[in-house]
Structure 1
Amino acid sequence: MNNLESGSRRKNSLEDSHIEDQNNSNGNNTTNSNVVKKPDFSARAIKHYFATRFPELIPSKEIFHENKQMLNPFPALKKIPGKQWLLMSAGFWAWTWDAFDYFSVSLNVSKLASDFDVSTTDITWGITLVLMLRTVGALIFGFAGDRYGRKWALVVNLICMCILEIGTGFIKTYRQFLGIRACFGVIMGGVYGNAAATVLDDCPVDAKGFLSGLLQQGYAFGYLLAVVFTRAIADTTSKSWRALFWFAAGICFLIIIFRSILPETTAFKKKIAFAKYQKNHNIAQLTFKEKALVSLKIYWLMMIYMVLLMAGFNFMSHGSQDLFPTFLTKQLNFGDNRSTVTNCVANFGALTGGVVVGHFSNFVGRRLSVIICCIIGGALIYPWAFVTNNGIDAAVFFLQFMVQGAWGVIPIHLSELCPPEFRSLIVGLAYQLGNLASSASSTIETRIGERFPMTNEEGVEIYDYGKVMAIFMGCVFGYVLLMTFLGPEHRGASLVRQLEKDGEEKEIIAEVNDQELLLQEKRNSISSTPDTESSNKELDEDAQKLDATKSDVDV
């Protein structure tokens, strides 16, 4: 390969090859019909797309036969190396602690309101601030993760979180509370994208669904831990909620140490190695900004779709969780202990559903898994919202099984839909923009509740929370089902850039082969060289350079 010719490639040729590379990276081979291409809004293209929504939803008999071994998760889990399990643990705990911090406020609203001498509504404004500013964090830390690596972007993110958790314990006024929660919003928004990339970058294909579901349930696990430690610390110590945040900072520090001693993901290291090789051999390449613009040309419609989908998912999560504790205590008159048990049952259902459905999405597909969860979840709305005896525990378990089961598909589904080189940024941004859209869910439910007033057993006027939640969740399940049915799926898409598809890796391999041939010729000519010692030394140096090149690009 001629380095001078490589260095003089035209920018438009590079952009074209990068577009082709982006397309091919979303499938296992170049014949995959589900690759992302520039949007085509011709009548023929639109007609073809909608005509294929149902046929592509149901896996063919051949696919069922090929993937039937995936029903058993253990062979896939055995393929996961020890390093990947450690990276998965780091990503899971980072996301779990993000959720723990968020729920540490929502579970202590009354205590915070009392300490700052404000209303509970004022404290909930601090929660809204977090939701509003998460998008900023997703942009900042998502960009850093894609540009500089998942490892240190996540570590810096967690360091900032640890500092803010310590500082929260020392705030004295309501204004300080709002200020620190605004900062928390930015910091917490950056965790999801890099945590997902850390878990899924190097994951074997057969295990992606399982780890996707496991990662997503860090949110439910974080809520469970927040409930437990609020009872154990905030309700029993003199420092109350302040001690809870100091405890959170200690655990966050341990997560920071854990992630710091682990390596960068192999996928990102390969990306850097290829870029380094291209630079050293004068192979022209697009800048990070140029790559982003090229990706935007291809993926802009997909990005809009992901935000709309995540808005529905976040409405589904908030709609099934936000008013439910109030429903138990005010409408069903459950005591604190009884209410805690039911909420814990709900979260155990969520944890189970996320892992199970996430794994089976490898077999039946991402879209079909979500649609099945929406249909069964819709059928469970009545017992979940209107049963008043102990049977509600079974209903809430299975409804949250379906809600979080659908959520379990999301990390891998979004990762497969977005540009491989901007996964941390796009996955995190889509999630947080959807979260921002759903921040109005409590207001919407309150508006619906005004239409259905009732009187509880104590004669106090309240809303019919069960009916409100049933109406809201029915609409949300329908919306998510429709968006998923109409949307694309790239199950099995590569999560790393496939350079061999645009010929760059072939050129690199060709050059390595040429160097090996040259090295062999030198070996053959040594016997005829008078200065054998000098020739052997030169030969060893050439061999070391060749080995370094092969190691860098994994040839």
Structure 2
Amino acid sequence: MAYNDEKVMRDGSPISHDGDSTDQHLSAGQYLATRLTTLKPPLAKAPNPIRLLRMLNLQQWLFFFVAFIAWTWDAFDFFTVSLTVEQLAEEFGKTNRDITWGITLVLMLRSVGAIIFGIASDRYGRKWPFIVNNILFIVLELATGFTQNYDQFLAVRALFGIAMGGLYGNAAATALEDCPQEARGIISGMLQQGYAFGYLLATAFARGLVDTTSHGWRPLFWFGACPPVLIIIFRYFLPETVSFRERVAARKAQGSIAGTFVKEGKVALRRHWILLIYLVLLMAGFNFMSHGSQDLYPTMLTNQFNFSHNAVTVTQVVANLGAITGGTVIGYCSQIFGRRFTIIVMCILGGALLYPYSFTTSHSVTAAAFFEQFCVQGAWGVIPIHLMELSPGSFRTFVVGTSYQLGNLISSASSTIEATIGERFPLPPKFQRGHEIRRYDYGKVICIFMACVYVYVIVLTFLGPERRGRSMDVEHDSDMAEVRGGHLDGGSVARHGQRQHQRHEDAGEVSSMDEEQAVETQQQKEAV
């Protein structure tokens, strides 16, 4: 019998079983002609977010929490240097600029970690590379706290960059690849904001641990090495994700796990190399967007607007609360309006807020900071699931992590670019403790720089693909089908429907709609 393998989510929008199959057969002109029509928001029925969260079973929630906590602490460990630059400079007899090389090295080497741990996670599983990652965090944070000179400090932070780069792709895969399609948007937004939450925690603990004992800045790093012990224990008692176990079974069925993995890599590279380049360029824009709006902002507040350190801290905390709120809310909205449309709208709104964000000289700028970061991180909230849905199934961790970290590498000079341009817009100097302090119009630079970045991201997002609702099941992976020498058939779709039904049944969460779909799927299987 004829078989239609397109199903729909509960909100009425289609589930794409193999998201890249359509665009691959279009010419460049035909593809570009579809960019506007495909941007139209699907306006899927807005589900109750509480109902979406209840769709996750216990194991899926545990996967999310371990990924969120690890990503949060990854950010915490990164910001420990940013928050202790002055103390480190005094300890090692260096300038603040010298110490920031410790930050730059981390950003530069994160892509190395993404490649190493990404390939390991796609080949050997999410679990053990994740654990090794966190073991390295423990060792390297402790080592940073015991460094005795500048060279040791740089060496340890360079190694930390490799470890840090390996976590993002694995965390995204762990949290999202087993997640129900309808809940992906809100879970993606919640996951991404672990980074902002990590910054908030680092700020709070820095106030309590730095320069409060005879050890100066070191206790912050020693403390940073402790929570990963609990994260390792947490992950150890969780299994591999269901999606990865199914992929391993498919590789075994081909006779050789390693051989099939290599074949999958060749197919993915041949079929998706343009997509991989696109994702790196997209993530470069997103990282320019976050770094361009954040890195030099505290300097602008103190140098240009004469804010006190406490006022800067309050503004930064409020901005990060806006980031956390925006990422969660907008991630949820992307499930209704589509990934690309949501990102573009956030960029437009963020651009409209640039003037109050960078030119308000009073403490009212706190409100502008909240809403600007709401937009920036709101767009970011879409990214984890957007990358997951676009990435080839066989190398999902590698592609997500590497594209993110290579984009980070490209954007690592954003604060330097802004600071250099800012020197072309001098302001009257101020005097503090008898010393002249040069002042610059950083607000103007941030405004111009961010406007350019927003335009870049809008254009790239408009031109790019979208796979909202793509199935992450191995049975609907066209790359794996090519490795097998076959194609996607109705039987595989039917098996997928049965498996999805069983997952919900095991969690005790089967609705009447689930039951109807399961019966229909069984009938289709029998007919096939």
Shorter-chain TM band = 0.7 to 0.9
Counterpart in 2 of 1:532? none
Cα separation, 2, equivalents of 1:474 and 1:244: 36
User: Partner amino acid for 1:57?
Assistant: L
Aligned equivalents of 2:468, 2:419: Cα separation in 1 = 38
Q: 1:123 to 1:36 in 2, by over 3 A?
A: farther
Please, which runs of 5 or more residues in structure 1 have no aligned partner? 1-20, 22-26, 513-555
Cα 1:250–1:50 change in 2 (3 A) is same
Please say if residues 421 and 496 of structure 1, whose CA atoms lie closer than 8 Å, have aligned partners that are also in contact.
Answer: no
Correspondence for 1:497:
474
Query: Helix, strand or coil: the match of 1:56?
Result: helix
- 1:142–1:424 CA contact under 8 A, matched in 2: yes
SS at match of 2:222: helix
DSSP-derived class of the 2:226 partner: helix
3-state secondary structure, aligned to 1:388: coil
- Give 1:274 deviation, angstroms: 2.7
Counterpart of 1:49 in structure 2 is 31
Number of the residue aligned with 2:525: none
Contact 2:16–2:470 at 8 Å: present in 1 too? no
Map residues 385-400 of structure 1 onto 2, 5 A cutoff.
385-400=358-373
One of 451, 455, 462 as aligned partner of 1:474? 451
Q: Which residue of 2 aligns with 1:96?
A: 72
Query: Unaligned 5+ residue runs, structure 2?
Result: 6-13, 496-528
Q: Distance in 2 between matches of 1:165 and 1:340?
A: 24
Summarize the Cα distance change of 1:205–1:173 in structure 2 as closer, same or farther, 3 Å threshold: same
Among the aligned pairs, what percent are the same residue? Answer: 55
For 1:456 and 1:240, locate their aligned partners in 2 and report how far apart those are by CA, in whole Å. 32
For residue 179 of structure 1, the aligned residue among 151, 155, 176 is: 155
- Indicate the residue corresponding to 1:35 in structure 2: 21
**Separation in structure 2 between the aligned mates of residue 99 and residue 475 of structure 1, nearest angstrom:** 27
The answer to whether the aligner puts 1:210 opposite 2:217 as a matched pair is no
Opposite residue 435 of structure 1, the aligned amino acid is N
Quick check: 2:190–2:381 contact (8 Å CA) kept in 1? yes
8 Å contact from structure 1 (residues 357, 409) kept in 2: yes
The one-letter code of the counterpart of 2:269 is: L
* Aligned match for 1:271, one of 247, 256, 275: 247
CA distance in 2 between counterparts of 1:36 and 1:117 reads 59
Does structure 1 residue 197 correspond to structure 2 residue 179?
no
1:34 to partner: Cα distance: 5.3
Picking from 307, 326, 333, the partner of 1:334 is 307
Q: Aligned with 2:50: secondary structure?
A: helix
Aligned pair partner of 1:292 in 230, 255, 265 = 265
Aligned mate of 1:58, from 20, 31, 40: 40
Structure 1 residue 357: Cα displacement: 0.4
Match of 2:341 among 363, 368, 375: 368
| Residue 304 (str. 1) matches residue 277 (str. 2) | yes
Secondary structure of the corresponding residue to residue 491 of structure 1: coil
AA aligned opposite 2:208? A
Q: TM-score, normalised by structure 2?
A: 0.85
> What code does the residue aligned with 1:78 have?
R
Displacement after TM superposition at 1:240 (Å):
2.4
Q: State the shift of 1:373 in Å.
A: 0.4
Give the aligned length: 471
Please point out which of 409, 426, 434 is paired with 1:453. Answer: 426
Higher Cα Rg: structure 1 or 2?
Answer: 1
Q: Is the 8 A contact 2:303 2:440 kept in 1?
A: no
SS in 2 for 1:169: helix
Q: Hey, what's the Cα distance between the residues in 1 that align with 2:273 and 2:468?
A: 20
Alignment of structure 1 residues 461-540 onto 2, 5 Å? 461-498=438-475, 502=481
Look up the match of 1:541.
none
Distance in 2, matches of 1:231 and 1:446, equals 27
When normalised by structure 1's length, the TM-score is 0.81
Does the CA contact (< 8 Å) of 2:79 and 2:199 recur in 1?
A: yes
1:153 aligns with 2:140: no
Which amino acid counterpart does residue 28 of structure 1 have in structure 2?
A: I
CA distance in 2, matches of 1:439, 1:426: 19
Question: Superposition RMSD on alpha carbons, in Å?
Answer: 2.2
Match of 1:515 in 2: none
Contact 1:331–1:456 (CA<8 Å) still a contact in 2?
A: no
**Counterpart code for 1:250:** C
Distance 1:181 1:349, change over 3 A: same
Cα distance per residue 1:277-332 (max 9 Å; x no partner): 443xxx99952112101100111000000000000000000011111111111111
Tell whether the 8 Å contact from 2:296 to 2:419 is kept in structure 1 after alignment: no
Counterpart-to-counterpart distance in 2, 1:500 and 1:367: 23
Corresponding residue for residue 88 of structure 2? 112
